[in-house]
Amino acid sequence: MKVEMDRLMLASSVAGAFIITLLLLPVLNLLFSAGFDGLLDAITDKNALQAIFTSFEAAFLATVLSFIFGVPLAYLMARKDFFGKSVIESVIDLPIVIPHTVAGIALLMVFGRNGIIGSPLNEIGIRLSDSMAGIVMAMMFVSSPFLINHAREAFESIDPKMENVAISLGATRAKAIWSITLPLSMRNLMVGSIMTWARAISEFGAVIIIAYFPMIAPTYIYSKYVEQGLYAAMPAAALMLVLTIVIFMAMRLVIHKWRRYDTD
């Protein structure tokens, strides 16, 4: 029995080492290949900095809007059973399985200059394609399912009787949700928000179709690669990688400390 367990652990270690190497080696190779000089070149590249700033701004807006509109939907999905619920659940998960170039074309046909919504808006001076609004919509389309699903799982894990007790003591439904359900769900909501932001900031396929300009970091890096080659794109890619890792790890550290605080 012990020999079998040791073999299983050894196989698991080998498999884990393969996956970690697969994930880590390209990242480390990019950073070491770019080096400090490459990062310095990217930092002094105004176009690269502008593209990176646009990426962070659009991803933040996409996350905030996903939170505002997605959390109420997640609460409804967690608390109510109704006709067509399974269809809505499938619609929520649909952007995860749709190829993102297909998503970009679908969005363009709706919100582009000649789209069913974009065309009348364009006539009154509201432009969605090739704008920050188009970038945010594309990012929301591909990333909002992560926040909605995390929020729904959080709400499902909380006993509705807790809200009912608060209501029986005189609180309104909204106050019960605000004072009980949301605080208990906050950890999951934060994790969902981080995953939504991370997915949004990495989006390329949908964004490049509906809004090539203003350039976000992935579009700028791709443009540099196509026009000037691999080594020209490497500094901006390395800088984007460093900034993303730092912010992502900082967010995860906050969540980890929050979890330890709640446990204590």
Number of domains in the chain: 1
CA separation, residue 79 to residues 30, 141, 152, 158, 198 (Å): 46, 24, 9, 10, 28
In whole angstroms, give the CA distance from residue 158 to residue 52.
39
12: which 2 tokens?
Answer: 């698991």
Q: What is the span of the domain harbouring residue 73? A: 34-263
Instruction: Specify if 212 maps to a domain.
Output: yes
- Report the CATH number at residue 50: 1.10.3720.10
In whole angstroms, give the CA distance from residue 201 to residue 193.
12
Q: Inform me whether the pLDDT recorded for 70 exceeds 80.
A: yes
Higher pLDDT, 84 or 255: 84
Predicted TM-score of the model (pTM): 0.89
Which tens digits make up the pLDDT trace of 28-44? 999 999 998 999 999 99
Instruction: Specify if 114 maps to a domain.
Output: yes
In whole angstroms, give the CA distance from residue 75 to residue 97.
23
Instruction: Specify if 21 maps to a domain.
Output: no
Which tens digits make up the pLDDT trace of 42-53? 999 999 999 999
Q: Are 142 and 199 in contact (CB under 8 A)?
A: yes
